Every structure is written in structure tokens, then in C-alpha cells.
Structure 1
Amino acid sequence: MTKAICFSCGAEKFGALTQCGACKSTPRVEGDLALSLVLSDHLSSETQLEVLAHEIRSHLKLTVPEALLRQAHEALKDPQLLAMLGTGPGNATDGSQARPTPRTARPGSPPTTRSSSNRRQRSLHQSELQQNPFALLGVTTRDDRRRIVELAEEKSLELDHDACQKARSDLTSPRMRLSAEMSWLPGVSPGKAAQFVSALHSDPMSVREESGLPTLAHLNLLASAFEAIDGNDSADDVAEFIQEMAYLVDDLSAEQVLRDINEDRSVSGFPEVKGIEQVEAELSERKRYYRNAIKDALNRLPPASLVDAMTTAVDQITGGGEDHAPELIDDLVDSYAVETQGFLQKEAESVEKLINAARDSATSGEKVVKPIVDKLVVVARNWDKVAQPIQLSAKARGIDHDPSHEIAYSIRSLAIDLFNEHDMLDQSQRLTELIQELFAELPEVVERVEQDSEALADIFQNRKMNEAQKDEWARDITYRAEVGVMFKDVLSISPDGLSWKNQRFPLDAVTRVRWGAVRHSVNGIPTGTTYTLAFGDNRSEAVVELKKESTYSTFLEKLWKAVVIRLLTELFETLQGGNEVRFGEATLSDDGVTLVKHKFLGTNEKVRCSWGQVHVWSADGSFYIGSKDDKKTYVGLSYIHAANTHVLEQAIRMAFKKPGMRRLSDMLQ
């Protein structure tokens, strides 16, 4: 034998049982040894080897004929061959060295390295397989009726007589025999079957290392091994074990089982099973047994480990809910959903109570709401941890998990209310992030919450920018100066307001400002300039007279940013609302101004002009608005004495620069 294929990677090598030069794998356990013999030119043709190599490299299910595998297993019983190989089924001392055959490998299937927890010392005595009639009487599937009766009589002397007689009846009655055969090891040689039963007694988890077995027999072995699981097993290992079972259940073939059973019956002399319907009915019972065996094993775990094992199994086998799960996983999740319904409903009620409490307490402020949200986060996480397997399964099946939708939208509603009605951005963001974390399996919820999250993130960034702008604005408007030679008075402006001597005005309370400068001279010789500043509210006004131009200019710059821009905006908004505003003798409306026509003789009269009919200018310390067509129609407002003249001038000059302006409030657009 020269040409061979590596059982692990599909690379070509020389010698069936030698180490692979590509992946360094060496067949050690019997299943791998038997498969390696099949993957050689000793048992397979060159064409078959090419097909099998392609299947291994592509991670496909191997199409190895069962007859060839049985032939390989028989060849491994040759003592001379085992001595030549220096290995055998019992020589693999560490299960972690063994690789599973690609026969059951699938994309996304769990890793095969066993954790140390499943190799600790344990034994089984009363597993279903050990109590099977074949095991009880020590008969094989190839023994005839006479041999079964003889062994039943012998065992009756050692064991319970009634149990032995029932076992005999089950095995000799063609109708009852099928159930015993299908819960035994169909397709496995009598010698190997005895070894497996012995292994269950001394080291139950060793059967997980077996490969190349007929699917039904393999499942029956693993299901019995599940009976050895207890609270000391890790959740990850149990999850891996569940996945191994689930993949095998999907591989069950009624036709293959029928062939294996009838092959043994042809030797034992019992009539063959004619209809596949009987086999299919028994397979349904087998699947129910596998599910119950796993459920019983899970129930022996601590509650937290049970939830972790289910979550890990469903998450890995569905690729996070993206792929359909095997039938066994769906059945397990359905049972899990029923058993956890009470807990989930109780926790859901707690979530709703906390949501209502947070909403009711929102008017008391964020300090009161935050502890409630803290509790809500904890309870929601507890609920989601238990619901995870159900959510993943629902996503994989393409269906909605209604309780998840209800809780997710309830939390989302609270997040929206806390922000929209109470401006609690931090708590709203916390809840939005919680929904994204806990309900990632719900596409519709994820999409909506992502939009919420983006909106909140934008608001958060805008607020940060606004806060930064506010800080910058506060720095820009803050100014303090001492005025006077001997006795100092303080003139100041800051976000807290305007202050002069003992007068203080909050910025928002200031409704009028005026300023200006008067130059003095004697006989044409300049003697100095007096700078006047005035600001006040509707009741009083502070007037400041300065000699230093630098103080005057700096304060005006701060005053403009702190007050004048606001007064300008309020003027536009007032006019936009249809109101009129008086400035001295002028009456402003949004679409025009009422001026005074000055007469040399007689009473002056008021003239209404649209903004297109007037022009403006400055002269003699005043701001003028006049008719373009009549020089006698105008109004003059002193900069230094009339309140808000500078505000009015700025509003009109800005508006005149806007093409097509008809209303002053167009500046708000």
C-alpha cells in the first residue's frame, strides 16, 4: 500500500497510517485508523480517492461506503497488523490528540478538542444502552432465537427472572424486537458493541472520541454518555456535546438503519423488516429520547450553567442566528422556552414596573431617575440572558420573538420620553445602548434603535459643541474695568450680567442700550472726548461716562455680543409677529415705517412708507430715516440719547443689503 489520503486535510501522502506531511496529523484512535485504511489504494480505487480527497478538502460529508468501513474495522482486529502499527483503540491515551473524521464535520461545527472536565473519573451503570435487552442478556444482533432463549435462562439464575423473561420476549418477538434493535447499536459488530458497553461503564465520555460509526449507533452511544453529565461539567463542553448530537440527528437515514437491521436479521434468522414506515416511527421515538436525555443532563447543571450551555450551543450552531439550526436544537429550544416562560414573564413584569417608575419619577429630576434606570438595566440583562437561546433560535427560523419585541419597544419608549419630555440625554443614551446590546437578534428593533442612537449621538455632539461655544462666548463677553481717578467704580460685563456701581442687570433683562462720544474743544483746540454708555431694563437705566477710549471700545465690543445681537433678533421676531415698534417719532412695522413730514407752517403729518421708498444716513450724531421722494419726510434718532438707535440702524442696513427685501423679518430666513 503506497498511495493514501490524509483523513484530516485531504492531502496526498504515502502510507495509510503515517503522519501527514501537510497538517502533521497521525491517525491514533480506531475510527481514524479505519478511515485511513479506506482512504488508501488498499481499499479504494484511484478515482474514489480523488473524490474523497475533494470532499475532505471542501469540508463536505464523506461518501464512504459503510461496507468499506466495516472491512477496515475488521482488518484492524488482526493482532499482527496492530503489532506492526504499534497502536490500537486502547493506545490513544489522550483524547485531545485524536482528530474526528471529516465524516460528520461541517462548516461552523464545534471544535473537537475536549476539555479536561469531561475526562475526569466517572462511570455509568444504568444507562439506557446498558439496560437494553441485548446488553441485559449478553446476546448479539446475530444470535438466533434458540441462542437468545438459552442465554435468557442462564441470566435468570443471576439477574431478576422477570426482567430476563421480558428481555427474551422483546428480542424474540419480531414486532417488539425492532424497538430493541434501534435502541441498541445497529450496524456495529458484536465485538465492538461489547467494547462500547464496557467503555460506558468505565469511561462514559470516551465514546465521544469514536468516529466512523453508523449514525444511529453513534447517537445511542452519545445519548447514554449524556447520562453521565452532572453539575461539575462545564457549560462550554456540554454545549459542544449538544452540537455533536444535533449534527448526527440530522444525518439519520431510515434507509440506512433498515439496511443495517435487516443485514443482522439475515444472519440471526429473524424475518426482515419490510416497510420503512416502522423504522421511521421508531426513529421519531429515538429523537424524542435524545431530546429528553439532553434535557435531563441540562437539568443536572446549575441554573447559570444550563442557560450558558443552551446559549452557546444555539449561538454557535446557528452562527449567531444567521443559519438554520438542526431539528434537535429547535426541539430543545422549544422545550426550554416552555420551561423558562414563568421566569421570563416575572422578569418582564419587573421591567415594566421599573419603566413606569422611571417615567413617573422623571419630573423629580435625573438624580431620582438614574437609580431606577440602574435597576432596570440589571433586570433587563437578567431577562435577556435567559431569553438569548430563544431569541437566537427565532432569528434563525425567521420568526419574531414577541416578548423580546415588547420589552425592547417599552425600553425604547422610555428612552424617547426621558429625552423628549425631560431632556435626560445621558439616561436616554444608556437605554438606547442597552437595547442595541440586548436585542441584536431583532433586525427591526436594531434598525430603529440605530436611528435613535445616531440621533442621540448627533444631539450629544451638538450639545458638546454648544457647550464649547458657550464657554467661548462667556470668555469673549467677560470684561471688568475700574473707572475713576481717586475713587474707583467697577464697570463689568459677564454671563451673570451688566454691572455699574451698585446697579446690576441680568443679560436677558436688558431691553435698551445707547452709546456715543462727544469731542470737546476750546477755541478750536481739542480738550478731550467724553464717552457715554447706557444700558437698562424697562424700569431703570445705568449711565456710564468714560474718558478712556480703550475701556469704551472694549466694553462696546463685549456689549454687542452679549446684548445687542439678542435685541436685534428680538426686533425681527417682534415685527414678524405683526407688531409695531416705536423708535422716537418713527413707527416700524415689518413691511415699512411711518415717518414725519416736517412743515414750515402748519402741523407736521405722519407719512407711511414702504422700505423700498426710504433711505438712511447718519449726520450730527443721529441716525436718519427719510423718504427718497420727499426731503421733508424723515425721522432723526440720536445715537447717544435715544434707546436702541444702534440696534435699529443695524437692522435696517442689514436688510437693505439683502436683494429683493420687502420685510425686515426676511433676515430671519
Structure 2
Amino acid sequence: MLHTVEMQMNSEMTETALQKNPFCLLGLSTRDNRHRIVEMAEERSLYIDSEACQKARADLINPRSRLNAELAWLPGVSPRVAESIKNALEANTITADLYERLAPLPKANVMAAMCERKTGSEPVSAIASFICTFADTVEAVDLEDVLRDINEDRLLAGFPEVPTTDAVEQDWTRRRKDYRTALKNMLDGMKADTLVEAVTQAVERATGDDERHAPLLLDELVDAYEVETQPFLEAEATNLRTLIGKALADASGGLAAVTPTLDRIEQVARNWVSVAKPIQISARSRGMSHQSSTDVATRMRSLGVDLNNKHGLLDCADRMTCLLGNLFVDLPEFGDTLAEDARAIKGLRQSATDKQRQDAEWEREIAFEADVGVMFKDRLAVAAQGITWKGRQFPLDSIRRVRWGGVRRSVNGVPTGTDYHIALSIEGADEQNINLRKESTYTGFTQALWRAVCVRLMIDMLNRLEKGETLHFGSFSVEDGAITLPQHKFWSNNGPLRLRWSEVHVWSADGRFVVGKRDDKKVHGSASYIKDWDTHLIEHLIRGAFKKGAAKLTDYLKG
């Protein structure tokens, strides 16, 4: 149903193009003959511009120039209805019920006149509806029907018929440009925010939110709108580039430092899209993309990626992704990318949550504390902040090597207990030795030490082995795929022997970890648990690799 708009116009308004049409100027209908045209031209020249009257007469009598006047007037409309429309224009009031039943061409001509009388004070939704109706009306013009209406009027007026639609095509092309100009001039007379919102609503309605093509007149109007808004969009794009550079510079200061700049970026981006949105929607309905919008969206997405990847600001990246998803939904080629980014951020958030949960669990696992000593007690503790011993705290990542073990005591062959010894090699500090008597303290501490430090040290060992390094423990040397053991033979070459892991077996004896050749008891090497660094660690890796049947130690952690 057509939206009815009543146009209130003051008496000082200038004449519309429809009122300046030769037919209207001379008070004629399309069915008046030559005699009536001459008569009315002479009569009207008495009280309006005589030159204008003579030109109007000439235009209506000449069949070729008459066609242009017919296309710009009300062909096929009865003289009574045409008179009503003319009177309404002169009285400065016109309503949609005067034209809504007209054929598309005369209806479009009346609506073009209404464009000249719109003040911009109407609701934006009414303006948008008017634009859509106008565009649909022009789209509905059929030149065969127009030709028929013109020729019927000419027959009554005694003028030669227009032979084919080819004769109408050229004048119709000019007429379409006049319609676009009328709409553009109407919008130019409005406030900027009203203009933008009216065009946006019109495009959204006309395309059904990208479900159909808009009428050609509306596409042409949006193209003209794009030209007019280009300086603003270019200036805002430059502003965004500057702000994005500032955001990246601020990011080193963390979330608090970068947030004000992100607020400004969001404001500028929203301003950009509020102006560019009708262009985006129109382009999308035509199977194209608004390149400037794509460039802006790409730069904003890159900012989010850099804030996360280079500065660890996941919340900022999430903010950019949500903002882009909200503002740039009309960029078809960008939708899949944004959806993928959103999934990635969701995954990162889940990973961060899982890591926090794992970190909390890890902190509980490594937590240990005990008092060591009888009279003068020293605090021994393990926590995420480090290892505490004798009033000093050593960060966990500062511990480079470890060794520990126990030595049983006895008097005259009677066991009297066990001395437990733990040593830590600290980067940038002296070696720390921890001597204990209580087995529970020793067991609790070494278990916490294993989870807090030794897992990291073993991973470091595997990384070094994978790079081709050789590691030394006691009397043997370890490579990723081989081990070198000494030979203990008196009457033969005693040089070290390099063996594959499949050629050796392992065991423990006398406080040592031993590796020997399967078929030769004279080929073996060992490392002391209590005296040699990281013996417990290399034993764990070797036994673990053997259990998996791995040919290399680095296969221990692989699937």
C-alpha cells in the first residue's frame, strides 16, 4: 500500500519543474490541438512572460520537442485529473491520493514535483518510504505503455503518432536523470543525519535486507550519494589509520593504556558505517563489495589480531571482532573471516580458562612446606613463587639442575636411620644443599620438586637432544637416538662404545642408575643419584622411552 504524504508548502515556494512544463505553463492538456495551443499561448502572454509562452507554444507544436514535454507531463491522464493536480501544485498542497492511481510515468512526474516541495521535516521513515515508492514507480514504467498513451493523446490532438519506442528511448534516459536529480536535490536540502538515515532506510527496504535487487533509480541515487560522501569517508579512514597506529603503540602499556584509544576507534568506526551503510547494502545487493569499507574493516581486524598475538590483549581482540561483526555485516566477503575469528577467540578464552584451572591445580600439586631442624628450625617450602630455604626464595625457573638421594646410617651393623641429601643448582646463585632426616619431609619435598621443576628440566633436555646436542651423565653420554658407554675390558680396546637404544638395558644398583649393553656385561655406564646432576631425570626419560618401544628419547612425549 502506498504511503500517503501530505505536502504543506508556503506561498513563497518557487514553481516546480512540472509547473514549468509547457502544458502546465499554457494551461493545456495533452489532448488539445494546435489551434488551442496557439490561442492559449497568446492569452497567457498577456500576463506572464511572453517569450516563455512563445517557446512553450513552439515546443508543443513541434512533434519532436513535444515528445520531451509529453514525457515530463501527464500523458494518458484525463484533462480533469490533470487540472486537479495542477491546481493542487498552485495551491501549495498535494496529497498522494491525487497520483497513486496514475500510470507509472505521470505518477513519477508528480512525485518528482513533490521532491521539490519536501522540507525534510517529515519523519525519516516517511521520507524513506517516499523514496522507495518513487524508485518502484520509475522501475514500473513500460515504454510500450507510454508510447500507447502518448499516441492516443496525439490522435485526439491531431498530431502525428510516435512510430516506435526507439524514438522515446533517448528522451526517457534524460527523464530518468531528472528523477535522480530531483531525489538528490531533495536530500541535499535535509540535515546530514536525516539524509543518511533516510537513504539507509530506503536501501534496506528496497533490498529486503539483501534479499533482492533495488530499483535502478535507487542504485543510481546511492552512486551519487557515494560521490558526495567520499570526502567524509576518506577523512574518517585517515583518522582511523592514525588511531590504529596509536593503539598499537599504546598496547605495550596494557589494557588500561589502550582502552581510551579503542573507545575513539569505535566512535570513528560507527560514524564511518553510519554514512557508508547504504553504500554497503546497495553494493551487496548488486553482488559487489564496497572496497573502502572492506579496507577499513581489514585494518581494524588486523589491529585486533596484533593486540592478541603481539601483546596478549585477548579482551581487546574480542572487542574488535564483536565491533566488526556488528558494523560490517553488509560485507559478504568479510562474514566468514569474522565468524572464524570469533570461533578462534572463543577457543582462546576456553584455553585461557583451562590454563587457569590447570595452573590452579598445578599450584595445589606443588604446594609443600615443612620446618627442618630440632632447635633452630629452617623453613623449607615449594610454591608457584619459588623454593624457600634458609630465609631465601629461589624462583622455580632459576633452578637449572637437581640431584637427590639417601644414605643409610648404622652403628655396629645396626641401622640407625637415613640421611637424605638434596642439591639444587641455581642460576646466578650458589648451589643450595638441603640435608634432611625425616623421610616424610624428604618424600614430600622431592615429589613437589618433581612437578614444579623437574618436568620443565626434562622438556628442556628433550629439546636439546632434538637439536642434536649430546648430554653427559656420570660415565655415559646420551644422544637422541644413541648412548655412549665405557668398556671395562683389560685385554682389549677400552674406548667408549656408541650403541642404539635397542642394544641396551637399564637397572639400579648401589645408589646408581646403570645402563649396560644387553649381550656384554663389560660394557656399561652409570650415574649416581645423589652425586651426579639430573640422574633421576634421564632415568625417567630412558625408562619411559623403553616402555613405549621408542627408537629415540624425543619420541617419549610424542603420540
Per the TM alignment, residue 209 of structure 1 is displaced from its structure 2 partner at its CA by 7.1
Query: Paired residue for 2:505?
Result: 615
- Is 1:542 the counterpart of 2:401 in the alignment? no
Which segment drifts farther, 324-333 or 465-474? 465-474
1:259 pairs with one of 141, 148, 151: 148
Query: Paired residue for 1:234?
Result: 123
Query: 8 Å contact 2:468–2:480 — kept in the other structure?
Result: yes
Secondary structure in structure 2 of the residue aligned to 1:399: coil
Per the TM alignment, residue 162 of structure 1 is displaced from its structure 2 partner at its CA by 4.2
Secondary structure in structure 2 of the residue aligned to 1:582: strand
Which segment drifts farther, 371-380 or 602-611? 602-611
1:484-523 equivalence runs, <5 A: 484-520=373-409
Query: Paired residue for 1:401?
Result: 290
Query: 8 Å contact 1:199–1:207 — kept in the other structure?
Result: no
2:278 pairs with one of 364, 369, 389: 389
Calculate the TM-score normalised by the size of structure 2: 0.88
2:66 pairs with one of 177, 180, 199: 177
1:624-667 CA-partner distances (Å, limit 9, x unpaired)? 223323334433433334332211221111111122x3322222
Q: Distance in 1 between matches of 2:546 and 2:361?
A: 31
Query: Paired residue for 1:627?
Result: 517
Per the TM alignment, residue 543 of structure 1 is displaced from its structure 2 partner at its CA by 2.9
- Is 1:331 the counterpart of 2:216 in the alignment? no
Query: Paired residue for 1:224?
Result: 113
Per the TM alignment, residue 302 of structure 1 is displaced from its structure 2 partner at its CA by 0.7
Query: Paired residue for 1:464?
Result: 353
Query: 8 Å contact 2:3–2:126 — kept in the other structure?
Result: no
* Corresponding letter in the other structure for 2:430: S
Tell me how large the CA RMSD over aligned residues is: 3.2
Query: 8 Å contact 1:572–1:667 — kept in the other structure?
Result: no
* Corresponding letter in the other structure for 2:379: V
1:445-467 CA-partner distances (Å, limit 9, x unpaired)? 33344444433443343233223
* Corresponding letter in the other structure for 1:395: R
Per the TM alignment, residue 165 of structure 1 is displaced from its structure 2 partner at its CA by 4.2
Query: Paired residue for 2:450?
Result: 560
Q: Distance in 2 between matches of 1:281 and 1:468?
A: 75
1:262-411 equivalence runs, <5 A: 262-359=151-248, 368-411=257-300
Query: 8 Å contact 2:41–2:54 — kept in the other structure?
Result: yes
Which segment drifts farther, 442-451 or 256-265? 442-451
- Is 1:587 the counterpart of 2:474 in the alignment? no
Query: Paired residue for 2:76?
Result: 187
Per the TM alignment, residue 423 of structure 1 is displaced from its structure 2 partner at its CA by 4.1
Which segment drifts farther, 149-158 or 249-258? 149-158
Per the TM alignment, residue 517 of structure 1 is displaced from its structure 2 partner at its CA by 3.8
Unmatched 5+ residue regions in structure 1? Answer: 1-99, 101-111
1:402-448 CA-partner distances (Å, limit 9, x unpaired)? 33343333334444444444444443444444444444333333334
Return closer, same or farther for 1:547/1:399 CA change in 2, 3 Å cut-off.
Answer: same
Query: 8 Å contact 1:295–1:332 — kept in the other structure?
Result: yes
Query: 8 Å contact 2:420–2:436 — kept in the other structure?
Result: yes
* Corresponding letter in the other structure for 2:455: I
Report 1 or 2 for greater relative contact order, CA contacts < 8 Å, sequence distance ≥ 6: 2
Q: Distance in 2 between matches of 1:583 and 1:371?
A: 56
Q: Distance in 1 between matches of 2:244 and 2:115?
A: 42
Q: Distance in 2 between matches of 1:603 and 1:401?
A: 81
* Corresponding letter in the other structure for 2:33: D
1:314-357 CA-partner distances (Å, limit 9, x unpaired)? 23212334533222112212222222222222222223333444
Query: 8 Å contact 1:137–1:151 — kept in the other structure?
Result: yes
Query: 8 Å contact 2:7–2:95 — kept in the other structure?
Result: no
Q: Distance in 1 between matches of 2:410 and 2:364?
A: 38
* Corresponding letter in the other structure for 2:458: L
Query: 8 Å contact 1:186–1:257 — kept in the other structure?
Result: yes
2:422 pairs with one of 515, 520, 533: 533
* Corresponding letter in the other structure for 1:345: E
Per the TM alignment, residue 535 of structure 1 is displaced from its structure 2 partner at its CA by 2.5
Secondary structure in structure 2 of the residue aligned to 1:626: strand
Return closer, same or farther for 1:209/1:163 CA change in 2, 3 Å cut-off.
Answer: closer
Secondary structure in structure 1 of the residue aligned to 2:264: helix
Per the TM alignment, residue 362 of structure 1 is displaced from its structure 2 partner at its CA by 5.4
* Corresponding letter in the other structure for 2:380: L
Per the TM alignment, residue 296 of structure 1 is displaced from its structure 2 partner at its CA by 0.8
Query: 8 Å contact 2:143–2:165 — kept in the other structure?
Result: yes
Return closer, same or farther for 1:405/1:628 CA change in 2, 3 Å cut-off.
Answer: same
Calculate the TM-score normalised by the size of structure 1: 0.74
Return closer, same or farther for 1:168/1:600 CA change in 2, 3 Å cut-off.
Answer: closer
Query: Paired residue for 1:139?
Result: 28
Which segment drifts farther, 599-608 or 385-394? 599-608
Secondary structure in structure 2 of the residue aligned to 1:481: strand
Unmatched 5+ residue regions in structure 2? Answer: none
* Corresponding letter in the other structure for 2:451: K
Q: Distance in 1 between matches of 2:499 and 2:438?
A: 41
Query: 8 Å contact 1:594–1:609 — kept in the other structure?
Result: yes
1:248-299 CA-partner distances (Å, limit 9, x unpaired)? 1111122212221222232233333334333333322321221111111101
Query: 8 Å contact 1:408–1:435 — kept in the other structure?
Result: yes
Q: Distance in 1 between matches of 2:55 and 2:492?
A: 136
Per the TM alignment, residue 303 of structure 1 is displaced from its structure 2 partner at its CA by 0.9
